[in-house]
A and B are shown apart, each in its own frame.
Chain A
Amino acid sequence: DQQVKQNSPSLSVQEGRISILNCDYTNSMFDYFLWYKKYPAEGPTFLISISSIKDKNEDGRFTVFLNKSAKHLSLHIVPSQPGDSAVYFCAASVLSSSYKLIFGSGTRLLVRP
């Protein structure tokens, strides 16, 4: 049973618009969440993280929102650029043992020029 779920395997967005990637989790003990981006033939690259004491974290064009009551987080990319086309993974852990990341299965984002 997957503890971290990304229910949309793919998403297509027009350049300049907002991309919203979603992630749900089932384990209420999770208190640290990350997003990674992966290009083909490369390893995942860390994008942004959030701990459960916050409900929003922003870094440039990337914002992560956390809704603890719904056990849901989302990644917003504004404005989307063609170079953002990649697979995005969310991951979760318990902060006290945050080396143990549980990953979702990923969402493939395509940003159309």
Chain B
Amino acid sequence: ETGVTQTPRHLVMGMTNKKSLKCEQHLGHNAMYWYKQSAKKPLELMFVYSLEERVENNSVPSRFSPECPNSSHLFLHLHTLQPEDSALYLCASSPLAGAGQPQHFGDGTRLSIL
């Protein structure tokens, strides 16, 4: 039990589909993150939310749209994705954004774009 739950665990979608990834944390944290891990590449930070405000958008294409309705939930809305977007998408949370606080990760959503 990681305290950070991601759904779905696996997703296959066509390039014209619209889907959403969901993340929920049960740790009482105030910061949430989206990361992308492509095959044989390091984890890449995509977005950071602190107290429901976006504090980082790491040059991510607009076909990825994050949403943080409250400090426990984070979504990643996907539309018109490309084959190179196939990857493992990881959500994380931390008590605060910064100040040396380790991030706690979910188990990820494995996304495949057809």
Residues in chain A within 8 A of chain B (CB atoms): 2, 4, 32, 34, 36, 41-46, 49, 51, 89, 91, 95-106
Contacts and interface: CB of A to CB of B under 8 A. Distances in A.
A98 B90 contact: no
- Chain B interface size band reads 20 to 34
B83 interface: no
A40 B70 CA distance: 30
A43 B105 CA distance: 5
B94 A99 contact: yes
A105 B38 CA distance: 10
B11 interface: no
Which one of B33, B48, B97, B102 has the greatest number of beta carbons of chain A within 10 Å?
B102
B98 A97 contact: yes
Interface in B89-114: 90, 92, 94, 97-108
Interface in B9-34: 31, 33
Given A43-B106, A45-B105, A100-B48, 19 more contacts: A32-B100, A34-B102, A43-B2, A43-B4, A44-B90, A45-B2, A89-B42, A98-B98, A98-B100, A99-B33, A99-B56, A99-B98, A100-B45, A100-B56, A101-B103, A103-B43, A104-B42, A105-B40, A105-B42
A43 B107 contact: yes
A4 B44 CA distance: 12
A106 to B, nearest CB: 7
Interface of B: 2, 4, 6, 31, 33, 40-45, 48, 50, 55-56, 90, 92, 94, 97-108
A105 B41 CA distance: 6
A84 B33 CA distance: 26
A103 B100 contact: no
Nearest to B90: A43
Contact of A98 (B56, B99, B107): B99
A44 B105 contact: yes
Given A43-B105, A43-B106, A45-B105, A96 B98 contact: yes
A98 B102 CA distance: 9
